[in-house]
């Protein structure tokens, strides 16, 4: 076998690969189309989100039972602060240019959630700073 025949073979393989690539790309495109359409279809999307929800409830259950009763007040303050992550929805509403009802609602929700975020974390910090060991 000489060098040229090897090169020829390599060329042929490359060509074949190229031909193969086209149907694979098609399949990939089709798959992603299907995935896209199914994830925008409410049914599957809901099951997916509901899975996350149920797992998060379980995480919450085990994590919160491990919280020491002495820190139940800070627990309430911090859960209150983090539930204001609802600000995410408010930011999306307040984000677009121009004025409409949705933007005004978003703006009000940003204010309300901010009160909670700043207030909640600061009050938690104040409480936690007080808990100290024996000197």
Q: Does 122 bind other proteins (CB under 8 A)?
A: yes
Q: Does 1 bind other proteins (CB under 8 A)?
A: no
**Span of 8-16, 20-28, 30-38, 123-131 interacting with other proteins by CB under 8 A:** 123-131
Q: How many CB atoms lie within 10 A of CB 113?
A: 20
The smaller minimum CB distance to other proteins, of residues 5 and 97, is found at 97
Which run of H or of E encompasses 6? helix 3-40
The smaller minimum CB distance to other proteins, of residues 23 and 69, is found at 69
Phi first, then psi: what are they for 43, rounded to 5°? -55, -60
# of chain residues touching other proteins (CB under 8 A): 85
The smaller minimum CB distance to other proteins, of residues 9 and 72, is found at 72
By CB under 8 A, what part of segment 25-54 binds other proteins?
A: 40, 42-43, 45-46, 49, 52-54
The smaller minimum CB distance to other proteins, of residues 13 and 128, is found at 128
Going residue by residue from 60 to 99, which x/- string records binding to other proteins, judged by CB under 8 A? xx-xxxxxxxxxxxxxxxxxxxxxxxxxxxxxxxxxxxx-
Give one DSSP letter per residue of 20-78, joined into a string.
HHHHHHHHHHHHHHHHHHHHHSHHHHHHHHHHHHHHHHHHHHHHHHTS-GGGHHHHHHH
Supply the minimum distance, in Å, between the C-beta of residue 38 and other proteins. Answer: 13
Burial call 61-94: b when 16+ CB within 10 Å, e when fewer? eeeeeeeeeeeeebeebbebbeebeebeebeebb
The smaller minimum CB distance to other proteins, of residues 4 and 40, is found at 40
DSSP-derived secondary structure letter, 100: -
């Amino acid at each position: 076998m000489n060098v040229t025949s090897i090169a020829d073979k390599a060329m042929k393989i490359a060509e074949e690969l190229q031909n193969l690539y086209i149907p694979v790309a098609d399949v990939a495109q089709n798959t992603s189309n299907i995935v896209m359409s199914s994830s925008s279809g409410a049914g599957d999307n809901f099951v997916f989100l509901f899975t996350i929800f149920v797992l998060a409830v379980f995480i919450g259950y085990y994590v919160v039972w491990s919280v020491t009763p002495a820190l139940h007040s800070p627990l309430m303050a911090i859960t209150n602060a983090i539930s204001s992550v609802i600000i995410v929805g408010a930011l999306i509403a307040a984000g677009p240019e121009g004025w409409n009802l949705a933007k005004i609602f978003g703006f009000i929700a940003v204010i309300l959630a901010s009160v909670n975020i700043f207030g909640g974390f600061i009050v938690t910090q104040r409480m936690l700073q007080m808990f100290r060991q024996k000197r």
